[in-house]
A = this chain, B = another copy of it.
Amino acid sequence: MQEILLLLWCNMNISERNTPTLYLLPVPLSDTDPHAVMPPKCIEVACTVKHFIVENVRSARRFLKRCSREIDIDTLTFSVLDEHTDPADVARMLDPMAEGHDMALMSEAGCPAVADPGALAVAHAQESGYRVDPLIGPSSILLALMASGFNGQTFAFAGYLPVETGARTSKLREMERRIMRERQTQIFIETPYRNNKLIAELCRVLPPDMKLCVASDITGERQSIITRPLRWWGKAHYDYGKTPTIFLLFS
């Protein structure tokens, strides 16, 4: 049965087109007009799907209203999948798909299921044999990697660094090893109010000729993406303290 299903999928058979789809619907990273930064297909899906799984209902409603004033938000259903969601509750969020409805998954910013808890819903959709359709949109991780000038042939995203000092230093040392041995670009994030402290820490712990790219407010009004050796960052004046920022290391 599953083998037959796979053949159908590969051949894009008519029956496959009738399978409900979970659209992975990106949203802008900053307060920009969706029509300027999103491909038309995203706007189209935003305007037609009726059942959503979202990280934050308020920001999801605001995004949908900016896509089209004609969307009747009150006719839509929203399930919340955020860091507080019990994983046991996620499977039920896909119930509308069992009834034949398409759904869309949305993060608070950027691409869903990357650096957020949305992957749980995608995993259930995959297990249920539903079609999963990832839509093109902004990802701060990918945009920062492109603009860093670092190796894009092999790279890793680590999410947040450990908070505890010992574990944090070990993690940075491990990243240094992977840069030197594997030529693997290392990407990570930090809570905005700790950005400045993190840069000082990187300058202290890592070799001064290692390169740091600081990519801040990507796609926003104050976008700034700067790659320089740590010895330069050690002397520079900067203030990234309130802005979503992503960090990349390479040598």
Contact = CB atoms under 8 A, between A and B. Distances in A.
Interface residues of A, number: 77
Contact of A119 (B137, B143, B151): B151
Contacts of A184: 156
Contact of A133 (B125, B139, B223, B237): B223
A119 B12 contact: no
A120 B154 CA distance: 14
A191 to B, nearest CB: 15
B10 A239 contact: yes
Contacts of A120: 149
Interface in A194-241: 213, 216, 218-219, 221-228, 232, 235-240
Interface stretch (A1-9, A45-53, A73-81, A95-103): A1-9
A153 interface: yes
Interface of A: 2-3, 6-7, 9-12, 24, 35-41, 111-116, 118-120, 122-127, 132-134, 136-139, 141-159, 184, 213, 216, 218-219, 221-228, 232, 235-240
23 contacts: A2-B232, A10-B224, A11-B222, A12-B221, A36-B41, A37-B39, A38-B136, A112-B146, A113-B146, A114-B145, A114-B146, A116-B152, A119-B151, A122-B146, A126-B148, A127-B227, A132-B225, A134-B147, A134-B225, A139-B142, A154-B157, A154-B158, A156-B156
